[in-house]
Amino acid sequence: MDNGPTDATPTTAAFRLVLLSKSNPVMGCYMFWTSLLVLKMLVMSLLTARQRMKTKTFANPEDLRISRSPEVRFGDPGVERVRRAHRNDLENILPFLLMSLVYVASGPNPLTARLLIRIGASARLLHTLVYALIPVPQPARALAFFTTFAITCFEAGYVLFCCIKYI
Amino acid sequence: MDNGPTDATPTTAAFRLVLLSKSNPVMGCYMFWTSLLVLKMLVMSLLTARQRMKTKTFANPEDLRISRSPEVRFGDPGVERVRRAHRNDLENILPFLLMSLVYVASGPNPLTARLLIRIGASARLLHTLVYALIPVPQPARALAFFTTFAITCFEAGYVLFCCIKYI
Amino acid sequence: MDNGPTDATPTTAAFRLVLLSKSNPVMGCYMFWTSLLVLKMLVMSLLTARQRMKTKTFANPEDLRISRSPEVRFGDPGVERVRRAHRNDLENILPFLLMSLVYVASGPNPLTARLLIRIGASARLLHTLVYALIPVPQPARALAFFTTFAITCFEAGYVLFCCIKYI
């Protein structure tokens, strides 16, 4: 399970340079926060299911028997709010995670990289809190949204600059 | 095309440890099933297009000429079912693939990892079958859904535990 | 920041084989175009926001104060067009990027791989242009769509063939 060699042969030196491996602390940090964000995204499905149960809003005829609902329904505000939050996750968390992976592979400053990953991921956790769980007045949601948005942009800009010669 | 060295120099030994490379059988397994799931997701677009053609339900004015439809339409049940299945894929397959990549990078037990990848991917193929192609009574869809859901959760838990020191 | 060794020790030789690193020009090319596509996807959120502002179509009660709109609204054609384009990105760009990463890891012919990545990514930029920015008659959008679609399929087929033994 451990892929980080500890002796000091030339092999080791080169191996340290494999950026997308657990021996790179930045990659370890990325792996930790990716797992947390993936878990958070999965929870959105459960939140949607809970809202559907509570309001008996089912979109498929084959789901009606579970809740003894008479017919399919759409557009319940509670269900739609969770679904909008979930879609916002797809639009922002997935690009953030993919972008961060590529950013880690570009060999950024370790301190900066770990800070960006931690802040970007935490902001998305906060975004779900203020959007789907406890709706609070703006600009709470906008601030959480633009934090991750700006970090993803910065990472993209950094990699574009790094890899411009491979265009 | 082959990046797996076969001699036994120290270099080779270290190289075997590069987890995100084709020389790692777990990564090979991940790559195979990722390709299959990506193809499956692309097929959803074709299924949507087929339903749109069949029911003449087009959402964009510029698409009307193809099918000689008089106006844009929304909300056809057949089209919406395929679209819900497609959205469910986005919500579950993409996190599963991203999570599995990170899981492979964390150096899990090869047998366990390959098993989880195979079962998780197969369950999603089954999910599409019982949701978009041949709607069958519950709990067929729920079982397929929660299989991949549980596997993604397990992988996330494993990586969180592995990488807790990099938080 | 540079992880590409230039001396000719055995270590270096093995290291050249690490496909998912910046020392591999194909990976560099992938990283460049991934950043560009991620930026493009983020811009879709801004385009949606602009359309929402312009038409005062807000889906959440807490957003109404910003634009002094009297109530939540749904289904504005301008907003929905950008949202469809954005969803189409989720359905196609994310699988394309994930598939291309796995394709790069499978060690394809460098010239072919770089060409496919460039064309596939450019086609998606064009797709957004003709869908969300300047709606033009078909088959402009269909051509852009199927270019990336076909490239993703080819990459998936290549990897399936490469990794069939790890099934």
Convert the pLDDT of each residue in B49-96 to its tens digit. 888 888 877 777 777 776 677 777 777 787 888 888 899 999 999 999
Chain C residue at shortest CA distance from B64: C138
Phi-psi region of B56 (alpha: psi -120 to 50; beta: other; left: phi over 0): left
3-state SS assignment for residue A23: coil
Q: Does A112 touch chain B (CB under 8 A)?
A: no
Cβ atoms of B31 and B97 within 8 Å: the answer is: no
Q: What is the pLDDT of residue B17?
A: 57
Q: Do C18 and A13 touch (CB under 8 A)?
A: no
The residue among B148, B159, B161, B164 with the most chain A CBs within 10 A of its CB, best to mutate, is: B159
Q: Does A97 touch chain B (CB under 8 A)?
A: yes
SS (H, E, C) A143-158: HHHHHHHHHHHHHHHH
Q: Does A67 touch chain B (CB under 8 A)?
A: no
- Please list every residue in chain C whose beta carbon sits closer than 8 Å to the beta carbon of residue B11: 10-11, 13-14
Q: What is the pLDDT of residue A10?
A: 41
Which residues of chain C fall short of a pLDDT of 50?
1-16
Cβ atoms of B106 and B162 within 8 Å: the answer is: yes
Q: Does B10 touch chain A (CB under 8 A)?
A: yes
Mean of all residue pLDDT scores within chain B: 83
By the 10 Å C-beta count (0-12 exposed, 13-18 middle, 19+ buried), A123 is classed as buried
- For residue B135, pLDDT over 80 is answered with no
Q: Does B51 touch chain A (CB under 8 A)?
A: no
- Please list every residue in chain C whose beta carbon sits closer than 8 Å to the beta carbon of residue B36: 156, 160
User: ipTM of the predicted structure?
Assistant: 0.83
Q: Do A165 and C86 touch (CB under 8 A)?
A: no
Q: Do B138 and A97 touch (CB under 8 A)?
A: no
CA distance C148 to C154: 10
pTM to 2 decimals?
A: 0.86
Q: What is the pLDDT of residue B4?
A: 40
Rounded (10°) angle between helices A77-105 and B77-105:
40
How many beta-carbon pairs under 8 angstroms link B with C?
115
The residue among C41, C99, C133 with the most chain B CBs within 10 A of its CB, best to mutate, is: C99
Q: What is the pLDDT of residue C17?
A: 57
CA distance C159 to C155: 6
Cβ atoms of B107 and B24 within 8 Å: the answer is: no
Q: What is the pLDDT of residue C63?
A: 74
| pLDDT by 10s per residue, chain A, length 167 | 334 433 334 444 444 457 777 778 888 999 999 999 999 999 999 988 888 888 877 777 777 776 677 777 777 787 888 888 899 999 999 999 999 999 998 888 899 999 999 999 999 999 988 887 787 877 888 899 999 999 999 999 999 998 888 88
Q: Does B118 touch chain A (CB under 8 A)?
A: no
Query: Which among A5, A31, A45 has CB closest to B91?
Result: A45
3-state SS assignment for residue B154: helix
Cβ atoms of C92 and C145 within 8 Å: the answer is: yes
Q: Do A160 and C44 touch (CB under 8 A)?
A: no
The string of pLDDT tens digits covering residues B98-128 is: 999 999 988 888 999 999 999 999 999 999 8
Cβ atoms of A102 and C31 within 8 Å: the answer is: yes
